[in-house]
Chains A and B, each alone.
Chain A
Amino acid sequence: MTKDKAHISVQDLNVHIGGNHILKDINIDIPNKSVTSIIGPSGCGKTTLLKTFNRLHDTAADVKVTGKVLVDGEDIYDPNTEITHIRKKMGLLSQRPYPLPMSIYDNVAYGPRIHGIRKKQDLDIIVEKQLKATALWNEVKDRLNSSATRLSIGQQQRLCLARGLAVGPEIILGDESTSALDPVSTSIIEDLFVKLKQDYSIVLVTHILRQAARVSDYIIFVYNGRIVEYGKTEQVLRDPHEELTKEYVKGYIV
């Protein structure tokens, strides 16, 4: 039962950016402890939708958001909501890895330090745990103090994931997180998503249908700023109800 409880609940969400209506009347419940993929052609608004979940639009000018986004029942667009608290609940994995300009260790320890963990011992434990969780520990344990930018792109992306997990989030948001990676790194990240869904709710934006099929339990198909179809992965890909979805997933079935 807990598995299907809504973790993120979006109600009547509308987003305008610089006068353009990007997202229109979005209503959706994203379930707990599973992987949900948002698919759709580029420019359809899927990344915008993902960013409304942790209010990263706050950093851009000219963005107007109306409606509600409830996380654990709390409206994150309520003016009284502490924004840093919301963001701490969600780890973000962006399109390309952006390691912070510091060492591998400090990258992972960055979040915990900000949230008040100062003791070296505690930090050591967190860093080791998260680097192990992202299958990076064995590759970097001898050079934790070297600059994070020296890692390969694939390693950097896993480091970014470890960095996100270190603040103890409940939700992981992935924005085409494998689009800059080679096939081997991609499959490592995909495997991690599948493993991590036992402890986290995961929302991914992807334009690769095969990836959505491989890792997700649910699929949201967005087209032109609207949600066209939302259902279990198998159903959306094999037996779509909507004509538009059928068109879009046609390539996958053959």
Chain B
Amino acid sequence: MLLFTVLSVSLVFIIGIGLYYKSIPVLQNSTWWHLLTSSVWKPLKGLFGFYPYIMGTLWVTGIAIIIALPLCVLTSLYIVEYAHSRVRRILMPFVNLLSGIPPVIFGVWGVLFIIPLIQDHIAPHFVEFSTGYSVLAGGIVLAVMIFPLIVSIINEVLRTMPQELKDASLALGATKWETVKKVILRKALPGIIAATVLAISRAFGETIAVLMVCGNNAVVPHSVFDAGYPLPALIANNYGDMMSIPLYDSALMFAALLLFIIILLFNIISRIILTRLERRISA
């Protein structure tokens, strides 16, 4: 039992060390700084600039959070503060079902629904031509994928708010919305931040659904209708060539290491915030 526990916990370190070990060749060939900021990607010459991929990841994740966060905060407020408990009992199972849908299905939905929507109905209002395969499509699909995660965390946070605190504000003659805006949201802020950080780290690592809709063009996007090429998609798309070109496998493992480090940090941060919040409320 102890052995299994130690082994599975040390998985974190083993993965980190393993990926780092495999990244050493490309790191010897270049510096961290150069790898992160260069835009030149010429595997045959041993040049690996991750900048466009990092920007692709940031664009897609940013769009997803901008779409999902307000929607989820409003939804949670409605479910917890306003709606009859019946609404929650009916709605939450569907949110849970949504979280069970595999990424590839989100990808298929993106191709069948979001891409045509952007191509025919949204993009024409803003740009001359768009295939629909864009960071916006990736962002929308990702946003829907992180709905359940954000809603369920914020629901939990809101439900720990003491009724007396709300009563105190209401008793002063504040309306319900004023109470929500000035007291509840302020008190729930750390929880909302933790949910966001967790959602960001989830969005960072999402591979297949994003890969299917965001165009995979390795240039830094300049508008939401441009195609992007996030890091996970880079890894997934090129695994076939990995072994045939020297240093290529090392570069892709470096990409995986990058994802691993960022997501590890974000996860730890949000877990610490959430645990603190839990402790403060139960104290």
Binding site for B on A (CB under 8 A): 54, 56, 59, 61, 84-85, 87-88, 90-92, 94-96, 98, 100-102, 110-111, 114-115, 160, 163-164, 167, 173
Contact = CB atoms under 8 A, between A and B. Distances in A.
Nearest to B172: A111
A98 B179 CA distance: 14
A59 B171 contact: no
Interface string B166-178: 1111111111001
B186 A102 contact: yes
10 nearest A-B residue pairs (beta carbon): A88-B173, A92-B171, A111-B172, A84-B173, A101-B187, A87-B173, A98-B165, A98-B168, A98-B164, A101-B186
Which of B84, B85, B166, B173 has the most chain A CB atoms inside 10 A of its CB?
B173
B31 interface: no
> Is chain A's binding surface mostly helix, strand, loop or mixed?
mixed
Nearest to B185: A101
B144 interface: no
Given A96-B164, A160-B168, 19 more contacts: A56-B167, A56-B170, A56-B171, A59-B167, A59-B170, A84-B174, A85-B173, A87-B170, A87-B172, A92-B167, A92-B168, A92-B171, A94-B164, A95-B164, A101-B183, A110-B169, A110-B174, A115-B173, A167-B172
A83 B166 CA distance: 15
Given A61-B85, A94-B168, A167 B162 contact: no
Contacts of B175: 84
A88 B172 CA distance: 5
Contacts of A110: 169, 172, 174, 182
B244 interface: no
Nearest to B163: A59
A195 B138 CA distance: 65
Contacts, number: 65
A103 B85 CA distance: 33
B88 to A, nearest CB: 11
B169 A100 contact: yes
29 contacts: A56-B170, A59-B166, A61-B85, A87-B170, A87-B171, A87-B173, A88-B172, A90-B171, A91-B171, A92-B168, A94-B167, A95-B164, A96-B164, A98-B165, A101-B183, A101-B186, A101-B187, A102-B186, A110-B169, A110-B172, A110-B174, A110-B182, A111-B173, A114-B172, A114-B173, A115-B173, A160-B168, A164-B171, A167-B172
Nearest to A86: B173
Contacts of A163: 168, 172
> Is chain B's binding surface mostly helix, strand, loop or mixed?
helix
B18 to A, nearest CB: 45
A62 to B, nearest CB: 9
A173 B172 CA distance: 12
Given A61-B84, A114-B178, A98 B162 contact: yes
A131 B85 CA distance: 40
Interface string B220-249: 000000000000000000000000000000
Contacts of A160: 168
B64 to A, nearest CB: 29
Nearest to B173: A88
Contacts of B174: 84, 110-111, 114
Contacts of A95: 164
A85 B172 CA distance: 9
A116 to B, nearest CB: 11
Which of B166, B167, B186, B187 has the most chain A CB atoms inside 10 A of its CB?
B167
A88 B171 CA distance: 7
A54 B164 CA distance: 14
B186 A164 contact: no
Which of B165, B172, B174 has the most chain A CB atoms inside 10 A of its CB?
B172
B171 A54 contact: yes
A115 B168 CA distance: 15
Nearest to B162: A98
Contacts of B166: 59
B218 to A, nearest CB: 46
A91 B169 CA distance: 10
A160 B165 CA distance: 11
Contacts of B84: 61
Interface string B259-276: 000000000000000000
Which of B164, B169, B171, B174 has the most chain A CB atoms inside 10 A of its CB?
B171
Contacts of A90: 171
Nearest to B174: A114
Contacts of B164: 94-96, 98
Contacts of A96: 164
Contacts of B172: 87-88, 91, 110-111, 114, 163-164, 167
